[in-house]
Amino acid sequence: MGGALLAGWRDQGAAKHDIVVVDPNPSADRTDLTRYDDPNAVPAEFHPDVVLLAVKPQVILHIVPGYRHYAAQGAVILSIAAGCTLASLTMALGEPSAIVRAMPNMPAAVRRGITVLAANANVTTAQRECCAGLLAAVGEVAWLADESLMDAVTALSGSGPAYIFLLVEAMAAAGEALGLPSGLAQHLARTTVVGAGELLRQAPQSATELRAQVTSPNGTTAAALQILGATPGLADLVRRSVAAAAHRSRQLAEAGVQAVCCTATKDVDGVAPGT
């Protein structure tokens, strides 16, 4: 996701001297950027306006202490780690850090993503606009006033692309079961979902209205939807799946807070944070 954001910024004309990448395993597409293996190697005279934390939630709280000095200097910390709350990041970075939590999704790679953001009270209006502008480079942006809803966002739009990919797999498999060649079945399923998505993006009608338009009474689509709407049907299956993802997001958040508390305790005992 960090790579997708970098590509979006570069496409919008961001100057390479305005971007510093900290990455021990650089990608080939970042070789023209200033890069360091460790945040401690970044020159002291570099004072960023925004620090983007684009790492897995399992490791973010071990990495955050390396950026505390930027938060202290007034940079806004923008995190895209799933399940890592504003509270846990504040505990790791210290007060009064300006922190924005964001949840982008995979279509950001093709500039069709959507990112939902939540900010703590220390974030200024200018910093909010800056973070929103950075993430708008890869798609749409929306804000949450209540951060507790971020688990639902993660479950719906963050994990959502995987649900669509699974649907394509299932449609292709169903086509093969009816005798279609594998390649054709996969192409039909994939192209149908892509086309339906583009229609949904452009059409003024709601998804419910579009579904009604393609469903003739007693026709083939109606026969399929009768199965999908049975009990338990697709709607119930999706509801339970999204709820499971939201539950896991809450578990990650709780684990993150525990990890920060543990780190803080060790720091009091004389062990460096993040050890």
Tell me phi and psi for residue 18, to 5 degrees: -90, -5
Q: Distance (Å, rounded) from C-alpha 113 to C-alpha 104?
A: 7
Beta bridge partners of 53: 79
Q: Distance (Å, rounded) from C-alpha 255 to C-alpha 19?
A: 32
| pLDDT of amino acid 259 | 57
pLDDT per residue as tens, the chain (275 positions): 888 898 899 888 888 888 999 988 766 555 678 889 889 999 999 999 999 999 887 788 788 989 999 999 999 999 998 888 999 999 999 989 999 999 999 999 999 999 999 999 999 999 999 999 999 999 999 999 999 999 999 999 999 999 999 999 999 999 999 999 999 999 999 999 999 999 999 999 999 999 999 999 999 999 999 999 998 899 999 999 999 999 998 887 777 655 555 544 443 222 222 22
- 259 located within any domain: no
- Nearest of 30, 220, 49 to residue 127 by alpha carbon: 49
82 lies in the same domain as 214: no
16 lies in the same domain as 141: yes
| pLDDT of amino acid 261 | 52
CB neighbour burial string for 178-191, b if at least 16 within 10 angstroms, e if fewer: eebeeeebbeebee
Q: Distance (Å, rounded) from C-alpha 38 to C-alpha 108?
A: 26
167 lies in the same domain as 222: yes
CB neighbourhood size of 211 (10 A): 13
89 lies in the same domain as 44: yes
Residues 6+ apart with CB under 8 A from 63: 53, 55, 274
55 lies in the same domain as 173: no
Put the strands of the sheet holding 98-103 in their side by side order.
Answer: 50-53, 76-79, 98-103, 113-119, 139-143
Contact 102, 128 (CB under 8 A): no
Tokens of 127: 């910093």
Q: Which of 118, 150, 182 is the last residue of a domain?
A: 150
Q: Distance (Å, rounded) from C-alpha 161 to C-alpha 193?
A: 12
CATH code for the domain of 206: 1.10.3730.10
49 lies in the same domain as 140: yes
CB neighbourhood size of 165 (10 A): 13
45 lies in the same domain as 66: yes
| pLDDT of amino acid 25 | 77
Tell me phi and psi for residue 89, to 5 degrees: -70, -40
Domain with 205 in it? 160-241
Residue that has been written with the tokens 């999204």 in this structure? 242
Fill in the DSSP letter of residue 271.
P
Number of domains in the chain: 2
Residue range 116-148, pLDDT digits in tens: 999 999 999 999 999 999 999 999 999 999 999
96 lies in the same domain as 76: yes
DSSP string, 91-110: HHH-TT-EEEEEE--GGGGG
Q: Distance (Å, rounded) from C-alpha 51 to C-alpha 81?
A: 13
CATH code for the domain of 139: 3.40.50.720
Q: What number of residues does the chain have?
A: 275
Cis omega (within 30 of 0) for bond into 96:
yes
Contact 130, 136 (CB under 8 A): no
90 lies in the same domain as 172: no
| pLDDT of amino acid 28 | 56
125 lies in the same domain as 11: yes
Residue that has been written with the tokens 């200033």 in this structure? 34
22 lies in the same domain as 106: yes
45 lies in the same domain as 91: yes
